[in-house]
Amino acid sequence: LAKQQGRNTYHIFDPLNDQQLQRRQEQRQRFAEALVNNELRLHYQPQLNMTCGKIIGVEALVRWQHPELGLLAPGLFLPVIEGSGLEVALGEWGLEQALIQLQQWQQEGIMLPVHVNISPAHLLTIDFIDRLLYLLERYPQVPAHMLKLEVLETAAMHDIDAALSAIHRCQALGIDIAIDDFGTGYSSLTHLRQLPVNLIKIDQSFVRDMLTDKDDMAIVESVIYMANRFDRPMLAEGVETLEHARALAALGCRLVQGYGIARPMPPCQLPAWLTQWPGRKDWAALVSMDDT
């Protein structure tokens, strides 16, 4: 009977039944194979400074080129590996891929910093900095400041002291830290004050609907106001149209990223994309308007 009660208690706290647990284990195993079999890809999305009209960096976003299912977005597999060591393995893979890409672009004369998304669990591993240093040493041609990290504010909720220490040590290496999906975690304002981050990324969910949803507009306005008061650079993601960009510029946000500028693309497409960008007259008009 005690055993039965124990089982019941277990089920109250863990919504996954045995079958689901086994399925998740299989999916994790499959993802581990994908890492080894080189099925993961990084796509890159440009980031724009509307003040000068220049592309100032790119964000690396992982995709899984699944042999049967096609190109999978991270939303389909990141939740499965959350809480497993695979988060760290993915993060280290991403860092190394970004360094390899930086080195290649550098040889082609493209000098754009690459933002890499790092999961909170990975950032908070005890040897995060040592392993990052080891990676940087393997790619000595790439200056550390060309690498930037994006971290969710939940990293601070788990362990603020460890998060602060990791952030400080990255910055000492010249690696900027962005706080990603800002506004989605609770007590965002506290984090804004506590975390010495180099960039605040306003979550795309607020930006996307800001022109039609007055609550989302209020959140975007408040974040931009607060970031400016704290003297922190900010970038709005999810900018799908020129109207979004104009509204953001009017509110005092200069950096943007979103489908309106470009969708994330495979790295081989970026050089050609960068060449045609100055010809995008619609966005150029916005920029010159902004300059006057």
* DSSP label at residue 126: T
254 near 197, Cβ under 8 Å?
Answer: no
264 binds, among ligand C2E, Mg ion, none (CB under 5 to 8 A by kind): ligand C2E
119 binds, among Mg ion, ligand C2E, none (CB under 5 to 8 A by kind): ligand C2E
47 binds, among ligand C2E, Mg ion, none (CB under 5 to 8 A by kind): none
CB of 281 to ligand C2E, least distance (A): 20
If the CB atoms of residues 22 and 158 are measured against ligand C2E, the closer one turns out to be 158
* DSSP label at residue 142: S
Amino acid 239 reads V
Q: Which stretch, 87-95, 132-140, 167-175, 217-225, contacts ligand C2E (CB under 6 A)?
A: 87-95
- Closest CA relative to residue 124, chosen from 145, 151, 143, 103: 151
Q: What is the Cα–Cα distance from 140 to 260, expressed in whole angstroms?
A: 35
Q: Which stretch, 137-145, 184-192, 222-230, 257-265, contacts ligand C2E (CB under 6 A)?
A: 257-265
Task: Give the tokens for residue 102.
Answer: 């930086």
Residues 6+ apart with CB under 8 A from 83: 121
Per CB under 5 A, the list member of 117, 119, 125, 188 interacting with Mg ion is: 117
What is the distance of C-alpha 75 from the center of its chain? 13
Per CB under 5 A, the list member of 150, 153, 176, 216 interacting with Mg ion is: 150
Q: Which stretch, 41-49, 143-151, 162-170, 273-281, contacts Mg ion (CB under 5 A)?
A: 143-151
Count, residues near ligand C2E per rule CB under 6 A: 25
CB of 246 to Mg ion, least distance (A): 21
Site string for ligand C2E, 122-151 (x = CB under 6 A): ----------------------------x-
Per CB under 6 A, the list member of 32, 56, 72, 78 interacting with ligand C2E is: 78
Range 166-185, binding ligand C2E (CB under 6 A): 180-181
202 near 178, Cβ under 8 Å?
Answer: no
Strand segments, DSSP code E, in the chain are 40-49, 54-66, 70-72, 114-118, 147-152, 176-182, 199-202, 234-237, 255-257
CB of 4 to ligand C2E, least distance (A): 40
For position 257 contacting Mg ion by CB under 5 A, the verdict is no
Amino acid 85 reads G
For position 153 contacting ligand C2E by CB under 6 A, the verdict is no
Q: What is the Cα–Cα distance from 94 to 92, expressed in whole angstroms?
A: 5
54-66 vs 40-49, strand pairing mode: antiparallel
If the CB atoms of residues 87 and 181 are measured against Mg ion, the closer one turns out to be 181
59 near 265, Cβ under 8 Å?
Answer: no
Task: Give the tokens for residue 252.
Answer: 């005092």
CB of 88 to Mg ion, least distance (A): 17
For position 119 contacting ligand C2E by CB under 6 A, the verdict is yes
Residues 6+ apart with CB under 8 A from 235: 47, 178, 199, 200, 201, 202, 253, 255, 256, 257
Contact residues: Mg ion, CB under 5 A: 117, 150, 180-181
Contact residues: ligand C2E, CB under 6 A: 45, 61-62, 73-75, 78, 90-91, 94, 117-119, 150, 180-181, 204, 208, 237-240, 258-259, 264
